[in-house]
Amino acid sequence: MAKNSFFYFFAFFTLFLCKNSCRATEEIKVYELKKGNFSVKITNYGATVLSVILPDKNGKLDDVVLGYDSIDGYKNDTTYFGGLIGRVANRIGGAKFELNGVEYKLPANDHGNTLHGGSKGFSSVIWTVEDFEEDSHLTLTYNSFDGEQGFPGNLSVEVTYMFIETNKLALIMQAKPHNNATPVNLASHSYWNLGGHNSGDILSQTIQIFGSKITPVNDKLIPNGEISPVKGTGFDFLLPRTIGSKLSEIPGGYDINYVLDNTDGRHLQRVAIVQESKSGRKMELWTNKPGVQFYTSNMLDNVKGKGGFVYSKYAALCLETQGFPDSVNHPNFPSQIVNPGETYKHIMVYRFTAS
């Protein structure tokens, strides 16, 4: 009887440990979506985009996102190359917020504030692969536990990378809270250079952003709560122009949330168009979210990347569609609070052409 009791206890204890730790030991793999000469590589470590290979106007193939040669590079990364960011992307001022009368304190991993979900956000965990078809889609899931990085409630998260037609890539991000209301703001953090990841800076590339306002920030990049028009300022990309054309007016480079025009959360609206003249590549982006963070990789400082190429300041641009930064502390910003029974949904669609 004692032997049986010990056996059952040991089996139960092993099952308990597995439930709480097996995910951490899940194998890290790389998955390639491929259709013709368009391919995307993704790993279940951080649901991270590793490469996007596209033809130029002459059919020459290039990888147009920055990254590393090995998964170990992403594990030691501080740039968030290609990562799926959460539970709350961007910054939360003072590393705290109040919800339903309770103050939640978070890891202060960025000058006293919380950046990209904390010191170990969703881009630093191993996701589970639920479905994979090479010429179609990859679906990954992650179960975020109550109190993870200080956030309330259990949260089920899912992201699908999907080919649409011959030249479009969609990201469908969903999240469902189980037992508590919680803020959710997922984002994709790919660094784009349409000339190729190793082609130099992006300052001569042309961009048009369909956002007529921004949310101004302080010196720690925390919004001050205002919403300001861009017209006539260095932030004005309502008409296409080169990224570097008014850089002298923006000390340090662009790292700002644009308030997108004509967004209602239910329909996709155009976010931006980026063009690179030498390759002829063009990238168009749509989303259902109200904001986009335009970032010109200002903090890249001689980072050794793919093939040994060294990435420097302005080596790429990010267009991170999102809710507004620090929304949890600004009641006038669109709410990011998702309640049990509700589903958070964030869609991005990229269209790539070359001519």
pLDDT in tens, 37-47: 999 999 999 99
Say what percent of the chain tops pLDDT 70. Answer: 93
Q: What residues does 321 pair with on adjacent strands?
A: 292
pTM: 0.92
> If residue 61 lies in a helix (H) or strand (E), which one and from where to where?
strand 61-63
The mean per-residue pLDDT over the stretch 252-266 comes to 91
Cβ contacts of 337 within 8 Å, gap of 6 or more: 99, 181, 182, 183, 328
Of 175, 318, 183, nearest to 258 by C-alpha is 318
Structure tokens at 107: 């890891």
Distance CA(200)–CA(243), nearest Å, equals 14
* pLDDT tier, 36 (very low <50, low <70, confident <90, very high otherwise): very high
Tens of pLDDT, residues 141-179? 999 999 999 999 999 999 999 999 989 999 999 999 999
User: Angle 102-120-52 (CA atoms, 0-180°, nearest 5)?
Assistant: 125
Residue type, 268: L
Distance CA(206)–CA(276), nearest Å, equals 7
Note the pLDDT of residue 99. 98
Note the pLDDT of residue 20. 40
The distance in angstroms from the start CA to the end CA of the chain is 77
Confidence check: pLDDT of 89 > 50:
yes
Query: Is there a binding annotation on residue 266?
Result: no
In whole angstroms, how far apart are CA 132 and each of 30, 102, 140, 265, 312? 11, 40, 9, 28, 35
Structure tokens at 106: 């978070």
Query: Is there a binding annotation on residue 69?
Result: no
Confidence check: pLDDT of 107 > 60:
yes
Query: Is there a binding annotation on residue 197?
Result: no
Confidence check: pLDDT of 17 > 80:
no
Measured in degrees and rounded to the nearest 5, phi and psi for residue 111 equal 55, 45
* C-beta separation of 95 from 105 below 8 A: yes
Query: Is there a binding annotation on residue 136?
Result: no
Note the pLDDT of residue 22. 39
Alpha helical stretches, state H, the chain: 2-21, 71-75
Say what percent of the chain tops pLDDT 90. Answer: 90
The mean per-residue pLDDT over the stretch 228-253 comes to 97
Note the pLDDT of residue 25. 55
Peptide bond into 87 cis (omega under 30): yes
The mean per-residue pLDDT over the stretch 89-105 comes to 98
Query: Is there a binding annotation on residue 90?
Result: yes
Confidence check: pLDDT of 15 > 70:
no
Distance CA(78)–CA(61), nearest Å, equals 28
* C-beta separation of 130 from 140 below 8 A: yes
Q: What residues does 53 pair with on adjacent strands?
A: 39, 63
The mean per-residue pLDDT over the stretch 266-290 comes to 97
The mean per-residue pLDDT over the stretch 324-345 comes to 98
- Cite the active site residues: 189, 320
Distance CA(155)–CA(308), nearest Å, equals 38
Query: Is there a binding annotation on residue 189?
Result: yes
The per-type count for the chain, helices as H runs and strands as E runs, is: 2, 28
DSSP letters along 128-161, please? Answer: EEEEEETTTEEEEEEEEPTTGGG--S-EEEEEEE
Q: What is the mean pLDDT of the chain?
A: 93
Structure tokens at 159: 């992201």
Note the pLDDT of residue 209. 98
Other C-beta atoms lying within 10 Å of the C-beta of residue 227: 15
Note the pLDDT of residue 26. 79
Confidence check: pLDDT of 11 > 50:
no
Tens of pLDDT, residues 290-328? 999 999 999 999 999 999 999 999 999 999 999 999 999
Distance CA(96)–CA(252), nearest Å, equals 27
Note the pLDDT of residue 19. 38
Confidence check: pLDDT of 94 > 90:
yes
